[in-house]
């Protein structure tokens, strides 16, 4: 519940004593305050004078930086900000803004931070000279509000400045937790293992993950190759990220992949590895019963704790436990071979998958308990194997701290978290991979948070990767996590976001957002059709598909008319973009409207290029020279637009996806022609228009 606060009615003011009395719409800030009343007056502010008692000064440095962001710097209208202790809730705050000054009441230093962030948002939403007379009483719906930054292609190229910008952006959204994946591995893509280690371990100098990335250089307009270590690993700046986050009230929760999503550790530390029936290390998964394997795992966890967790005062380690099952496409020698993470040694072979997972988690938990570090787990395998209750029983029997269970699912139906025995976090998605097409994940965010809140979940932990294209999803996650009951859902959020970004034409912006999301918020359309236009997913099919030949054949079939899917996607997005007014800058983000526009055009341009290729594929004769030239021009224009919209750390991966698409079109068309081409004329039903 919000702190008790008596609202007073603000009477219409007059122009006097530096007060500018002008009618204006209510401010639109994110997250939306739980309760607010806005006066008709606006108070001129040249600068703020902060009076912060020592008892509430834990984040004084950052609070002072926030205070310095408010004020025009011109004139003598210096407004005092007095912070006083009041209430009992840890992150609740109340604000009263009058012509005489500003009062922030709160029980904790976190409340001071949030109150100052609200003042910054009000200033940014205003006219650059004034603050509104206002009374605000605010508190969050969820105690933990965070995002998880996956270790993946893109985040591996983020330097310290990129990470600091990301932390700053999340902090201004009043999030208090950021998960940082330090280790994770996936199946192979583009012929290479997908392994990412973001923290060097002095005890294991051989553990590192240099990444070969061949892509298209927009300046030289040719294919190039990069080979780099993840920058966080190379420059060892995880601790710098933690300190930057902690100074503004954000807890960093590092993430350790395993026993699924782990190819590097068991391959390079064979003593850890699961064994096959002949006793040979498989290089995937872990032995969880052998003395040597358990000691090797304990040494590894102690090394991580001693070098990175304890020095940075880390309180929780995300010990993943997700997607623990046999998979293909992890063995470079035979991509089609099914590789199991389950150990077949004499001690493990009679255990079920759920029992092996429990052995792993309990063992890691006992080592972390030596350092007072607790755990967070994804729920999926514990629930799928039916061992969640048994696992919690074993945790209690060993007097270990109960872990947090993070409940995730990114499409419907989403699970209702079980909060009866352990703290639960609700985990929607804010963005899968910025090198693919952007998606509107507000439906998943709203459903997951509402279901979690109803079940009594204490936290929100959105999966994603840092990228400006995810602004809408991050803002909605923060808005709902702070005020899930009063946020009004996705449609009301879009209305408010449009008013914030495009104050001169808010209704036009709202309609543009709503129109585009008929495409980008459709999970089946985006994830199972449009994302497969790019080569990323086809490279995980272990040689079962031929890209883009199979893509062209699929879209060329007469019924169902899949080519019309591409036309609908391109036409709808172009129409939405045409109706979107120009937007303004937002603190910590590039112009979100410009980014939204460019990302939607990236989808439309790609769909149009594929449609052009289909026309050529269906033609009875080889294409004329001018047709080939037009395909080349369109492909190069697409690549240049991708380079313009993506930040430096995610641009190479995004360009690679589009470069393969553009490069392979010509050769695919030649192969199709040599093999008899694709279906001829399209067929469509006259009433389907």
Span 359-407, pLDDT tens digits: 999 999 999 999 999 999 999 999 999 999 999 999 999 999 999 999 9
Q: How confident is the model at residue 12 (pLDDT cuts 50, 70, 90)?
A: very low
120 has pLDDT over 50: yes
In a domain, 483, yes or no: yes
Percent of the chain with pLDDT over 90: 84
What pLDDT does residue 343 have?
98
What pLDDT does residue 26 have?
86
Alpha-helical runs (H) found in 398-505: 442-455, 471-482, 489-501
Q: Is the peptide bond before 548 cis (omega within 30 degrees of 0)?
A: yes
Q: What is the 3-state secondary structure (H, E, C) of 261-291?
A: CCCHHHHHCHHHEEECCCCCEEEEEECCCCH
Residues for the chain: how many in total? 689
Q: How confident is the model at residue 16 (pLDDT cuts 50, 70, 90)?
A: very low
Contact between 572 and 561 under an 8 Å Cβ cutoff? The reply is no
651 has pLDDT over 50: yes
Tell me the C-alpha distance between 682 and 689, whole Å: 14
Both tokens of 6, joined, read 């008596």
If asked whether residues 128 and 180 sit together in one domain, one would say no
The backbone torsions φ and ψ at residue 515, rounded to the nearest 5 degrees and listed phi first, read -65, -45
What is the mean predicted confidence (pLDDT) over 99-117? Answer: 98
If asked whether residues 565 and 484 sit together in one domain, one would say no
How, if at all, do strands 316-319 and 251-256 pair? parallel
682 has pLDDT over 70: no
What is the mean predicted confidence (pLDDT) over 312-324? Answer: 98
Tell me the C-alpha distance between 334 and 316, whole Å: 38
Contact between 132 and 147 under an 8 Å Cβ cutoff? The reply is no
If asked whether residues 91 and 149 sit together in one domain, one would say no
pTM: 0.95
Tell me the C-alpha distance between 343 and 383, whole Å: 21
What pLDDT does residue 7 have?
42
CA distance readout (Å), 283 to 3, 189, 296, 340, 364:
55, 18, 14, 10, 19
If asked whether residues 277 and 418 sit together in one domain, one would say yes
- 503 contact partners, CB below 8 Å, separation of at least 6: 25, 584
Q: How confident is the model at residue 654 (pLDDT cuts 50, 70, 90)?
A: very high
Mean residue pLDDT across the chain? 93
If asked whether residues 117 and 217 sit together in one domain, one would say no
What is the mean predicted confidence (pLDDT) over 165-180? Answer: 98
Instruction: Report the CATH number at residue 299.
Output: 3.20.20.80
What is the mean predicted confidence (pLDDT) over 624-643? Answer: 92
If asked whether residues 318 and 181 sit together in one domain, one would say yes
What pLDDT does residue 681 have?
64
Tell me the C-alpha distance between 368 and 318, whole Å: 11
- Find the range with the poorest average confidence among 24-38, 200-214, 609-623: 609-623
The last residue of a domain, from among 118, 138, 158 = 138
- What domain range is 49 assigned to? 19-138
Span 75-103, pLDDT tens digits: 877 999 999 999 999 999 999 999 999 99
Span 194-235, pLDDT tens digits: 999 999 999 999 999 999 999 999 999 999 999 999 999 999
Number of domains in the chain: 3
Span 443-502, pLDDT tens digits: 999 999 999 999 999 999 999 999 999 999 999 999 999 999 887 899 999 999 999 999
Q: How confident is the model at residue 558 (pLDDT cuts 50, 70, 90)?
A: confident
If asked whether residues 232 and 322 sit together in one domain, one would say yes
Both tokens of 688, joined, read 């389907």
- Answer with the residue of higher pLDDT: 329 or 544: 329
The backbone torsions φ and ψ at residue 677, rounded to the nearest 5 degrees and listed phi first, read 75, -165
> Which residues lie across from 482 on neighbouring strands?
none
In a domain, 2, yes or no: no
CA distance readout (Å), 249 to 57, 145, 170, 683:
12, 12, 11, 59
Q: What is the 3-state secondary structure (H, E, C) of 147-216?
A: EEECCCCCHHHCCHHHHHHHHHHHHHCCCCEEEEEEEEEEEEECCEEEEEECCCCCCCCCCCCCEEEEEE
What pLDDT does residue 22 have?
47
607 has pLDDT over 50: yes
Of 429, 409, 442, nearest in space to 520 by CA: 442
What is the mean predicted confidence (pLDDT) over 409-437? Answer: 96
Question: Tokens 């963005």 correspond to what residue?
Answer: 431
Tell me the C-alpha distance between 233 and 196, whole Å: 9
How, if at all, do strands 93-98 and 101-106 pair? antiparallel
What pLDDT does residue 20 have?
46
Percent of the chain with pLDDT over 70: 95
What pLDDT does residue 25 have?
77
Contact between 410 and 426 under an 8 Å Cβ cutoff? The reply is no
Which of 85-89, 178-182, 538-542, 673-677 has the highest mean predicted lDDT (pLDDT)? 178-182
What pLDDT does residue 620 have?
79
CB < 8 Å & 24+ apart, contacts of 98-103: 98/43, 98/133, 99/17, 99/18, 99/19, 99/41, 99/43, 99/133, 102/48, 102/131
Q: How confident is the model at residue 191 (pLDDT cuts 50, 70, 90)?
A: confident
In a domain, 258, yes or no: yes
If asked whether residues 625 and 578 sit together in one domain, one would say yes
Contact between 322 and 306 under an 8 Å Cβ cutoff? The reply is no
If asked whether residues 113 and 202 sit together in one domain, one would say no
If asked whether residues 479 and 422 sit together in one domain, one would say yes
Tell me the C-alpha distance between 93 and 150, whole Å: 32
């Amino acid at each position: 519940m919000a702190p008790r606060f008596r609202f007073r009615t603000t009477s219409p003011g007059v122009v006097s004593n530096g007060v500018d009395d002008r009618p204006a719409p209510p401010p639109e800030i994110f997250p939306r305050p739980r309760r607010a009343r806005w006066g008709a007056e606006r108070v001129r502010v040249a600068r703020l004078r902060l009076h912060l008692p020592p008892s509430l000064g834990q984040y004084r440095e950052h609070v002072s930086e926030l205070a310095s962001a408010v004020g025009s710097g011109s004139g003598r209208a210096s407004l005092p900000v007095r912070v006083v202790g009041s209430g009992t809730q840890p992150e609740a705050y109340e604000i009263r803004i009058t012509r005489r000054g500003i009062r922030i009441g709160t029980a904790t230093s976190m409340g001071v931070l949030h109150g100052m962030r609200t003042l910054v948002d009000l200033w940014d939403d205003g006219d650059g000279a004034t603050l509104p007379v206002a009374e605000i009483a605010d508190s969050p719906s969820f105690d933990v509000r965070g995002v998880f930054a996956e270790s993946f292609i893109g985040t591996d190229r983020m330097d310290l400045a990129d990470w600091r910008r990301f932390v700053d952006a999340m902090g201004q959204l009043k999030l208090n937790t950021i998960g940082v994946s330090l280790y994770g591995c996936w199946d192979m893509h583009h012929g290479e293992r997908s392994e990412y280690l973001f923290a060097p371990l002095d005890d294991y100098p051989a553990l590192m993950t240099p990444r070969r990335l061949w892509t298209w250089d927009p300046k030289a307009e040719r294919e190039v190759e990069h080979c780099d270590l993840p920058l966080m690993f190379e420059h060892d700046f995880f601790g710098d990220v933690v300190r930057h986050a902690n100074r503004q009230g954000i807890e960093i929760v590092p993430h350790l992949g395993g026993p699924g999503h782990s190819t590097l550790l068991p391959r390079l530390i064979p003593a850890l590895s699961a064994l096959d029936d002949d006793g040979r290390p498989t290089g995937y998964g872990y032995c969880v019963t052998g003395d040597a394997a358990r000691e090797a795992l304990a040494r590894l966890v102690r090394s991580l704790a001693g070098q990175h967790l304890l020095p940075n005062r880390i309180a929780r380690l995300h010990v993943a436990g997700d997607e623990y099952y046999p998979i293909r496409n992890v063995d470079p020698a035979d991509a089609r071979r099914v590789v199991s993470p389950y150990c077949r040694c004499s001690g493990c072979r009679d255990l079920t998958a759920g029992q092996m997972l429990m052995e792993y988690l309990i063992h890691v938990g006992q080592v972390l308990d030596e350092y007072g570090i607790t755990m967070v787990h994804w729920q999926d395998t514990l629930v799928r194997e039916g061992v969640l209750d048994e696992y919690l029983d074993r945790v209690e029997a060993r007097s270990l701290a109960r872990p947090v269970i993070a409940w995730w699912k990114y499409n419907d139906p989403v699970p209702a978290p079980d909060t009866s025995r352990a703290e639960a976090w609700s985990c929607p998605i804010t963005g899968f991979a910025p090198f693919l097409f952007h998606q509107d994940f507000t439906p998943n965010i709203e459903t997951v948070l509402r279901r979690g809140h109803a079940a009594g979940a204490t936290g929100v932990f959105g999966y994603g990767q840092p990228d400006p294209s995810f602004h809408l999803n991050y803002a909605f996650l923060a808005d709902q996590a702070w005020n899930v009951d009063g946020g009004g859902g996705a449609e009301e959020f879009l209305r408010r976001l449009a008013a914030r970004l495009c104050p001169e034409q808010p209704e036009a912006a709202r309609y543009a957002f709503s129109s585009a999301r008929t495409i980008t918020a459709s999970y089946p359309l985006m994830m199972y059709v449009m994302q497969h236009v790019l080569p990323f997913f086809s490279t995980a099919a272990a040689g079962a598909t031929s890209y883009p030949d199979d893509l062209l054949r699929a879209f060329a079939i007469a019924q169902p008319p899949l080519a019309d899917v591409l036309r609908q996607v391109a036409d709808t997005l172009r129409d939405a973009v045409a109706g979107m007014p120009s937007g303004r800058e937002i603190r910590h983000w590039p112009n979100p409207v410009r980014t939204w526009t460019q990302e939607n055009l990236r989808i439309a341009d790609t769909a149009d290029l594929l449609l052009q290729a289909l026309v050529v594929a269906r033609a009875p004769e080889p294409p004329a020279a001018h047709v080939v030239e037009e395909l080349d021009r369109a492909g190069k224009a697409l690549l240049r637009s991708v380079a313009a919209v993506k930040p430096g750390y995610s641009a190479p991966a995004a360009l690679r996806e589009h470069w393969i698409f553009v490069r392979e079109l010509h050769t695919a068309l030649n192969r199709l022609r040599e093999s008899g081409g694709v279906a001829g004329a399209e067929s469509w039903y006259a009433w389907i228009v």
